[in-house]
Amino acid sequence: MANRGKQGAQSKYDHLIKLLLIGDSGVGKSCLLLRYSEDSFTPSFITTIGIDFKIKSLPLEDKKLKLQIWDTAGQERFRTITTAYYRGAMGILLVYDVTDERSFANVKNWMRQIEQHASESVNKILIGNKCDVDPADRRVSLEQGRKLAEEYRIKFFETSAKENVNVDEAFYTVARDIALRIDNEVD
């Protein structure tokens, strides 16, 4: 297990999968990426670090997936993410914050931008992050999130980057769906 990273670097991957994290500033995209790729959490804003992407390998049945996960590095504050960011994206994790109604309302704007810039076949998943918060601080219910995802016909998870809830599940689900899609396209 300890030298797995080294082996991974030398071996061939069955699929290289480019994933994007999209959503309003402050919803927890960078924290989700940090949780998933390094299993850690930092309570302070880390947008300024300007992470471009992280690599994570994910075994899936008899395959090896190499996930290349891109973070917006703060660009989303201006609500325009360059076309280059979307280029080649195979999956998008569209994130809102369950304590922030505006970030939920903005999901439809992000969806519109995705439709304009991303490939038509891109796999999308909706994520309501910060589900660990005190119920009194919640502004978007689980049901509202589910309903919106149903309207878009995409999968949905409530997550917590802080408490490590459903983070692996969300990334795994989108990566597996992409791998299945690619295998079907090839056949």
Question: Which residues here bind Mg ion, judged by CB under 5 A?
Answer: 29-30, 47
Token pair, residue 91, equals 């999956």
SS3 category, 71: coil
C-beta nearest to ligand GDP: residue: 28
Q: How far is the CB of 106 from ligand GDP (least distance, A)?
A: 12
Distance CA 114, CA 121 (A): 11
Q: Which is nearer to ligand GDP, 16 or 105 (CB)?
A: 105
Separation of alpha carbons 124 and 128, rounded Å: 13
Beta-carbon contacts of residue 147 (< 8 Å; ≥ 6 apart): none
Task: Give least dist CB 130 to ligand GDP, A.
Answer: 4
DSSP 14: S
Binding residues (CB under 6 A) for ligand GDP: these are 25-31, 43, 45-47, 129-130, 132-133, 160-162
Pair of tokens at residue 135: 């119920």
Q: Cβ 65 to Mg ion, closest distance in Å?
A: 24
Residue number with CB closer to ligand GDP (65 or 130): 130
Distance of closest approach, residue 124 Cβ to Mg ion, in angstroms: 19
